[in-house]
């Protein structure tokens, strides 16, 4: 009888601790899902040679979020800064092998005149590459006379698009409308893409469709406090933990056969 009570007590304690663990994990998941803005944490500098259109360990200390982009789709976005440069990586799936991607900085209205920008893969301006740009009236663009920063774009056979950008936080190039961003401040940012013409081809997505989704990018003076794994990774970890708890609980509560 005493052994049975002891086993029951241990089972209850185990289940209680498991519930606390799973609650903490799901709280983390909810936080990751609710994260709408991008946190550019202070991290390690990335050499120009690693801005190559391949997501690697150089982004391990960056902030991460999965978010909507214009005019449609979801993207994985990594952001960080080192006090001198802002670093941004974007990964999403397009509907062709030849899209262009653009990032607008510092203005709430999409393709706002005088807004700073970065352009990738545009057949007219940056085929398979990057240009430092600014926006003009009527959604037109201007190419900065002084090209600041380094960028790269890659598209694989599955239409997975990766963009990487290394851009000065503040270089004082007012003629090019470049950003003048400082620590501990938030700024608007718009990510857009196109696949059906005007520098792109092979798809049916028009960047002018839909309502622009403005993101807020926070230039954090602090390092990333917790690695921000993609939500899918956290869900897998939580599922494995739940199966483990269920199996162990079943074994602990199984009655021994009468001797």
pLDDT band at 244 (very low <50, low <70, confident <90, very high): low
**Number of residues assigned to the chain:** 259
3-state secondary structure 77-116: EEEEECCCEEEEEEEEECCCCECEEEEEECCCCCCCCCCE
Residues 6+ apart with CB under 8 A from 25: 234, 237, 238, 241
Pair of tokens at residue 163? 């963009």
DSSP string, 37-69: SEEEEE-----GGG-SS---GGGTTSEEEEEE-
- The pLDDT of residue 239 is 62
Q: Name the least confident of 39-43, 115-119, 138-142.
A: 138-142
Domains of the chain: 34-232 (2.60.40.1190)
Tens of pLDDT, residue by residue over 118-136, are 999 999 999 999 999 999 9
- Helix ranges, the chain (H): 2-34, 231-253
- Given this model, what pLDDT does residue 28 score? 43
Find how far residue 12's CA is from the centre of its chain: 40
What tens digit of pLDDT does each residue of 150-174 get? 999 999 999 999 999 999 999 877 6
């Amino acid at each position: 009888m005493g052994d049975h009570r002891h086993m029951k007590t241990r089972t209850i304690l185990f289940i209680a601790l498991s519930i606390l663990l799973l609650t903490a994990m799901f709280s983390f998941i909810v936080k990751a899902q609710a994260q709408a803005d991008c946190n550019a944490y202070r991290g390690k500098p990335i050499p120009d040679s690693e801005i190559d259109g391949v997501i690697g360990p150089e982004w391990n200390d960056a902030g991460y979020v999965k978010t909507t982009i214009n005019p449609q789709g979801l993207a994985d976005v990594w952001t960080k800064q080192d006090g001198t440069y802002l670093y941004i990586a974007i990964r999403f799936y397009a509907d062709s092998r030849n899209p262009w991607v653009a990032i607008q900085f510092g203005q709430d209205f999409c393709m706002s005149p005088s807004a700073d920008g970065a352009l990738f893969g545009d057949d007219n301006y940056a085929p398979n590459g990057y240009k430092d740009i600014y926006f003009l009236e009527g959604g037109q663009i201007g190419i900065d006379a002084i090209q600041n920063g380094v960028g790269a774009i890659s598209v694989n056979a599955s239409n997975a698009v990766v963009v990487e950008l290394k851009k000065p936080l503040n270089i004082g190039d007012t003629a090019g409308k470049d950003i003048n961003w400082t620590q501990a401040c938030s700024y608007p940012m718009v990510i857009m893409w196109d696949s059906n013409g005007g520098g792109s081809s092979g798809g049916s997505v028009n960047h002018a469709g839909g309502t622009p989704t403005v993101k807020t990018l926070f230039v954090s003076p602090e390092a990333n406090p917790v690695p921000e794994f993609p939500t899918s990774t956290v869900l897998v970890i939580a599922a494995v933990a739940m199966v483990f708890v269920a199996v162990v609980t079943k074994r602990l509560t199984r009655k021994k056969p009468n001797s």
